[in-house]
Structure 1
């Protein structure tokens, strides 16, 4: 009996996962694409609709017989929250079952390893969620942190950005009354993407610091010491600019968003405004930035031969500059005839928050 129940649970999980990654589908499509018999699909889909997990979203065009009903995930069935912790800010995002952002806010709050920070963060979260009509629908809170996370030891092994080492996450976890999950910021951003679309991919998180993540066969790859994807600290220019990690010439010093703002602009948005207005200094800096980014991209493509997703704050703007970037990448890579392996990120600003939150949807689906 246990085996039968487990098999049914696995079938349900596969169906829900498929529906979540296909905005509108039908029972016929589910049966065909998941190779599940139609009677099994009908039984499971009907039960999931009765419980409210799935809903009818409309009708397909008639092919002569009765119109097939399109079905989709019920976005309000459950929610999850994502928090992004940086050195000077806290970002909070509420996500529904369709991975749609219901609400988001960003508050200036300097990180501190003291327990008082945990209390302040707890107050911020309570205020953020106070207008949630059904708080029992919150599955948990995913927290994104710029650093190397040890899930087993439950600590931040090292974070240059937050200036902490071997920092226990226990106090932070205990600040909330619901389940909490911690993840590296770049890994979380990768998780925000559709892993069914990107089975094998690299994520470049081009924020104020440069992070990276691997997705291999639909799963995050962390490496032996949870350091896989630390592309920001690959040497790009030997003996070059000093990086915040202490080394010289790191990719972070040339390809992070901070390489563009560089103390002259309060935000990347202001830099991009200057660029669009034709500011010559901004144009020169942008051209140099794209050149350095093209070298990094070419090296990663040569090493891993995967799709490369351009994310983070800069990644959000690159969608309008792909031609210029592509031309530079082609100059450094004579093995690819096009740059279709370069992909734009799905979420321009809240990727890490969404990805950390989506962890709870994955767990929910596994155990349904």
Structure 2
């Protein structure tokens, strides 16, 4: 059986990516370091470093001190060389972040605004928020890779339209309509996909697993071999619509009853504090009895979902979203409740973790889509 040959251009691209990734993952390296580490010829390394320097992706202004002979040039990675912007549109807010090539959030702009895609003034606000975070992060037009727009709904593969937007009744809306006042390359991204994408991109320890997004609505992302699996029709990971209360459950926004969303969305908790989730956890720590009762029931329901996802996928389970940002102090308690359901001998503390992105994970994930595409195309 013959193997498909790799073309010279593919080999050249692969070598360049290997060299750039090596520089990215090491603080300061010499040309010889790269030659030895990657087992590439000196001319190949030199040629690619020259290319990366001309693209302003690496810096050569420093030297590596040598005990004998001349000091070698230090090749260092410029994480601000290119940047992307992510926007998360929710029922009551428009939040935008600027993200560098390392996935670091370097700017945040939040605008309280009622969701209204049919209102031209609202669309202008989306554009204004994008321009403001771009200004704040000092991103030039040349260095802006694109704008990812995360929405609470299922999005087509090409990022051009909303396939299912029942949460805020915007099914069928297009990227062109939503991004009318964003004068930069952009695309739509499903919010749960974006948040899960941010986690898998930033933490390569997560090979297989499930990301649970506990925000204004409940969603999830299936992670297989460090990639997001969306399913045949982009519905993969929609944990919010698992039926967890077969009889007598609350009506979900989808029109059915007893969905997981109805018992674990963030408003189950922050309805007690007028929509302020941070205040809820302040009261919980202070021993407020009502907060404790709400949290006790919430953890029970969450433990069932975590157990089910573990049984289905046998991978890491990441608890994220708005609630996930505050759950750190309660992970031991959650693990104990999950273990109470588990028929096997593994322990939740070994596979259940809090999200790494605790601030604007969804917006960051929408931006990282462009970062990742860029890194794969150098």
Q: Does 1:232 align with 2:245?
A: no
What does 1:156-305 align with in structure 2 at a 5 Å threshold? 156-195=162-201, 196-239=204-247, 240-305=249-314
1:351 corresponds to which of 335, 346, 361: 361
- Native 8 Å contact 1:312 1:349 kept in 2: no
Stretches of 4+ moved more than 6 A in 1?
A: 27-33, 56-70
Q: Tell me how far 1:153 sits from its aligned partner.
A: 7.6
Q: Is the 8 A contact 1:204 1:212 kept in 2?
A: yes
Q: Which runs of 5+ in 1 are unaligned?
A: none
CA contact (8 A) 1:10 1:366 kept: no
Q: Any stretches of 5+ residues in structure 2 without a counterpart?
A: 1-5
Q: Say what the alpha-carbon RMSD is for the aligned residues.
A: 3.0
The alpha-carbon deviation at position 126 of structure 1 amounts to 2.4
CA distances 1:163-211 after superposition (whole Å, capped 9, x unpaired): 1222222222342221102110011011112443323221111112111
User: Aligned partners of 2:334, 2:228: CA distance in 1, in Å?
Assistant: 27
Question: How many residues were matched structurally?
Answer: 365
Q: In structure 2, how many angstroms separate the alpha carbons of the residues matched to 1:315 and 1:60?
A: 43
Whether the 8 Å CA contact 2:200–2:226 is kept in 1: the answer is no
Kindly indicate whether the alpha-carbon contact (under 8 Å) linking 1:24 and 1:70 is maintained by their aligned counterparts in 2.
Answer: no
Q: CA deviation at 1:337?
A: 2.1
- Aligned residue number for residue 3 of structure 2: none
CA drift at 1:63? 11
Residue 148 in structure 1 maps to residue 154 in structure 2? yes
Cα distance in 2 between the residues matched to 1:249 and 1:90 = 29
How do 1:60-209 residues align onto structure 2 when only pairs under 5 Å count?
72-114=76-118, 116=120, 117-131=122-136, 132=138, 134-152=140-158, 154-195=160-201, 196-209=204-217
Distance 1:324 1:102, change over 3 A: same
1:128-175 Cα distance to aligned partner (Å, 9 max, x none): 333526332111111101101013482101112221222222222342
CA–CA separation in structure 1 for the residues paired with 2:65 and 2:229: 42
| More displaced 10-residue stretch of structure 1: 279-288 or 36-45 | 36-45
For residues 336 and 65 of structure 2, the distance between their equivalents in structure 1, rounded to whole angstroms, comes to 43
Q: Which residue of 2 aligns with 1:328?
A: 337
Q: Structure 1: how far apart are the matches of 2:351 and 2:73?
A: 35
In structure 2, the partner of 1:37 is 40
Report the CA distance shift for 1:193/1:67 in structure 2 as closer, same or farther (over 3 A): farther
Change (3 A) 1:43 1:273: same
- Indicate which of 361, 364, 368 corresponds to 2:374: 364
Is the CA contact 1:188–1:354 (under 8 Å) kept in the aligned structure 2? Answer: yes
Q: Structure 1 residues 153, 9: closer, same or farther in 2, change over 3 A?
A: closer
Compare 259-268 and 97-106 and name the one that shifted more: 259-268
Q: CA deviation at 1:24?
A: 3.5
Partner of 1:4: 8
Q: Structure 1 pair 37/127, CA: closer, same or farther in 2 (3 Å)?
A: closer
Distance 1:346 1:234 in 2: 25
User: How far is 1:59 from its partner?
Assistant: 9.2
